[in-house]
Amino acid sequence: MTETVLHPGLVLIAGALALPALRGALRATFVVALPLAALWLVWQVGDGALWQLRFLDFELTPLHGDKLSRLFGTIFALMAAGGGLYALGQESRVELPAAFVYAGAAIGAAFAGDLITLFVFWELMAVGSTLVVWSGGTHASYRASMRYLMIHLLGGVILLAGITGHITQTGSVAFASMKLDAASNWLILIGFLINAAATPVSAWLPDAYPEASWSGMVFLSAFTTKTAVYALIRGFPGTELLVWLGLAMVFYGIVYALLESDMRRILAYSIVNQSGFMLAGVGIGTETALNGAAANAFTGVIYVALLVMAAGAVLRMTGRRDCADLGGLLRSMPLTAACAAIGALAISAFPFTAGFVSKSMISQAAADGRMLAVWLLLGAGSAGVVLHAGLKFPWLVFFGRDSGLRPAEAPASMRWAMIFFAFLSIALGIWFEPLYALLPYAVDYAPYTAAHVLTQTQLLLFSALAFLVALPHLRRARTITLDIDWIYRRALPRATAVCAALIDRAMGAASHAVRTFLSRAAALIYRFHGPHAELARTWTTRGMALWVLVLLIGYLVLYFV
């Protein structure tokens, strides 16, 4: 093995394993300092292969750096630091270590130079994230974690099958751009798409993430889907299928978020929606589009986490998560409301926020490529984001009808984490040059042109007007939304039960028929061969000789005729 720097992901994982032994101020310091140390190590990783080792006659590269890897490594380390600060008050002794293993595995995947290393970190992410969901400590979180694990183990098996086939066909373990010209590459793509929560397998995300604790969902919002976006940028840039899958995710997230009344499920569907924009950028495949997908992944981690933090603060201080039970919290939680409003503006791509300087690159790439339908759909999707994440969530929770609740502001560590991410959401929208310098390709794009600012402002104002018009009809009612997971959570178990009952009846009928047949056959045999039957009685020699004569005569007749 060649080693020039410490691996930032492994350092974070090793520190996570030591975390349960710490207490008090030392633990709090370690929780924030460890991800910052990993962030510093991310920037010590230069270009090219830094670690190499032999495994099964293959040359593995566990640490390989370039601009794309450093971009994702940076935001993952920042997220671990901000999430750790937010979760300092978390009483679970499992959640933070699991979250840091999860974050370290995401950083490891971002710096993986080969498919085998990628798979190892990919599966370690599944273990860490499952423990984060399970740490919610409720029966619902336990059941959700088991379903979550089931989906990700399935995705891991598919990914492993694809990697094995790819290595067999090409003889190479290098993680580089691939074409959909072989079944193995299709399997790799499917494995990536499952983690990206791509339609039609998006339901695992809103099923599992909202069941985590008030702090657990903050970590979950950042790593799994964004690591999948990184893998797609690296492995399948320019794959047209991703454009349409991404657009399907955009509108899937909008429709379900608008139907939802649970604030955490609204934000979970927003994560799917935002991942859809990124997949569309990867599918367009130009340098501008890939830069836009990477930039949107970077900023999306920040502003989505900010929204999830605001929702987590409300959940912790009120114990409620359904919008029907909330409202008017601005009066007692003004700081949380302000941070939620900044996150809502950023996710809506409002000018001078992080979302504006990143998401617009994808739309511009579609326009440059003369992809009119894609450009129009991306615009419509942006308007939909304003409706559910930009307006519905903050309005129902912090404004609107007063619920009478007067919770205090969240503890200081949670407030400082929200302030930090709110600052980044605005700072990156104003001073975007440092972000653009991190992107994998040279940026030839100016976000603040008069045409773009005017177009986006008009779109936002139109969406706000539509929301105000619909506001009188926006009822605070608890809703149940049926998603694809209904098939394997409800329909398949019921279908299995019906099939089992039918099979049981069929087996019972067959068993009865066999028993009846055997009983009648036994009776028939007994009739002729029983102790008192005709064939069982004693025959005289004369009688036997007569029957032998009859048989002989019959044989002769048949023979001569």
Chain segment 490-540, per-residue pLDDT in tens: 777 888 888 988 998 999 899 989 989 988 888 877 776 677 666 666 767
* Distant-in-sequence contacts of 515-521, Cβ < 8 A, 24+ apart: none
- CB of 316 within 8 A of CB of 310? no
Compute the distance between CA of residue 415 and CA of residue 75 in angstroms, rounded to an integer. Answer: 20
Instruction: Kindly provide the residue ranges of all beta strands, DSSP E only, lying in 224-368, ordered along the sequence.
Output: none
Q: Which regions of the chain are under pLDDT 70?
A: 1-4, 471-479, 528-529, 532-537, 539
Query: How high is the pLDDT of residue 534?
Result: 64
- CB of 191 within 8 A of CB of 282? no
Angle value at C-alpha 520, between 518 and 526, nearest 5 degrees: 100
Query: Which amino acid is located at 286 in the chain?
Result: T
Query: How high is the pLDDT of residue 2?
Result: 47
Beta strands 48-55 and 58-65: pairing type? Answer: antiparallel
Compute the distance between CA of residue 147 and CA of residue 406 in angstroms, rounded to an integer. Answer: 36
- CB of 205 within 8 A of CB of 308? no
Query: How high is the pLDDT of residue 541?
Result: 78
Compute the distance between CA of residue 468 and CA of residue 256 in angstroms, rounded to an integer. Answer: 20
Q: In whole angstroms, how far apart are CA 198 and each of 159, 195, 211, 246? A: 15, 8, 20, 7
As separate numbers, helices (DSSP H) first and strands (DSSP E) second, the chain gives 23, 2
Give yes or no for a cis peptide into 447 (omega within 30° of 0). no
- CB of 386 within 8 A of CB of 313? no
Burial of 554 (0-12, 13-18, 19+ CB in 10 A): exposed
Query: How high is the pLDDT of residue 50?
Result: 86
Query: How high is the pLDDT of residue 183?
Result: 93
Q: Residue 471: CB partners within 8 Å, gap ≥ 6?
A: 395
Residue 508 tokens, joined: 């019972």
